[in-house]
Amino acid sequence: MTQTTLLAIDQGTTSSRAIVFSDGGKILELQQKELKLHYPHKGWVEQNPEDIWNDTLQVCRSAVKNSAKIAAIGITNQRETTILWDRETGAPVYNAIVWQDRRTADLCARLKEQGDESAVRAKTGLLLDPYFSATKIAWILDNVKGARARAERGELAFGTVDSFLLWRLTGGKVHATDATNAARTVLFNIVEQKWDGDLLRLFDVPRSLLPEVKDNVAAFGVTELFGPKLTVGGMAGDQQAALIGQACFERGMVKSTYGTGCFALMNIGETFRESQNKLLTTPAYRFDGQTAYAIEGAIFSAGSAVQWLRDGLGLLEQAAQSEALATSVEDNNGVYFVPAFTGLGAPYWRPEARGLIAGFSRESTGAHIARAVLEAQAYQTLDLMAAMEGDGGHRPAVIRADGGLTANEFVCRFLADMVERPVEIPHVTETTAWGAACLAGLQAGVFDGPEDIARTWEAARRYQPSMTPEKRQELYGGWKNAVQMLL
Which CB sits closer to ligand ADP, 304 or 380?
Answer: 304
Q: Which of 233, 237, 245, 303 binds ligand ADP (CB under 6 A)?
A: 303
Q: How many binding residues for ligand ADP (CB under 6 A)?
A: 16
Which CB sits closer to ligand ADP, 392 or 403?
Answer: 403
Which CB sits closer to ligand ADP, 414 or 447?
Answer: 414
Which CB sits closer to ligand ADP, 238 or 391?
Answer: 238
Q: Which of 48, 62, 193, 307 binds ligand ADP (CB under 6 A)?
A: 307
Least Å distance, CB 408 to ligand ADP, is: 3
**CA pair distance 271, 274, nearest whole angstrom:** 10
> From the CB of residue 180, how many other CB atoms can be counted at a distance below 10 Å?
33
Which CB sits closer to ligand ADP, 74 or 403?
Answer: 403
Cβ partners under 8 Å of residue 412, min gap 6 = 401, 406, 423, 425, 461, 463
Stretch that binds ligand ADP, among 72-80, 156-164, 304-312, 471-479 (CB under 6 A): 304-312
Is the Cβ–Cβ distance between 275 and 313 less than 8 Å? no
Q: Which of 463, 470, 304 is nearest to 377 (CA)?
A: 304
Stretch that binds ligand ADP, among 97-105, 114-122, 182-190, 399-407 (CB under 6 A): 399-407
Which CB sits closer to ligand ADP, 432 or 443?
Answer: 432
How far from each other are the two terminal CA atoms of the chain, in whole angstroms? 62
Q: Which of 77, 240, 304, 443 binds ligand ADP (CB under 6 A)?
A: 304
Stretch that binds ligand ADP, among 280-288, 300-308, 361-369, 468-476 (CB under 6 A): 300-308
Q: Which of 82, 124, 408, 431 binds ligand ADP (CB under 6 A)?
A: 408
> From the CB of residue 201, how many other CB atoms can be counted at a distance below 10 Å?
10
Is the Cβ–Cβ distance between 188 and 132 less than 8 Å? no
> From the CB of residue 298, how many other CB atoms can be counted at a distance below 10 Å?
17
β-pair partners for 70: 5
Long-range contacts of 195-199 (CB under 8 A, 24+ apart): 196/123, 196/124, 198/119, 198/123, 199/120, 199/123, 199/124, 199/134
**CA pair distance 316, 307, nearest whole angstrom:** 9
Q: Which of residues 232-271 bind ligand ADP (CB under 6 A)?
A: 259-260
**CA pair distance 102, 98, nearest whole angstrom:** 9
Which CB sits closer to ligand ADP, 303 or 355?
Answer: 303
**Under the criterion CB under 6 A, does residue 37 sit at the interface with ligand ADP?**
no
Q: Which of 27, 144, 222, 319 binds ligand ADP (CB under 6 A)?
A: 319
Least Å distance, CB 427 to ligand ADP, is: 16
HSE-up (13 A, CA, CB side) for residue 416: 20
- Beta strand extents in 89-205 (DSSP E only): 96-97, 156-159, 176-178, 188-189, 194-195
Residues near ligand ADP (CB under 6 A) are: 14, 259-260, 303-304, 306-307, 319-320, 322-323, 403-405, 407-408
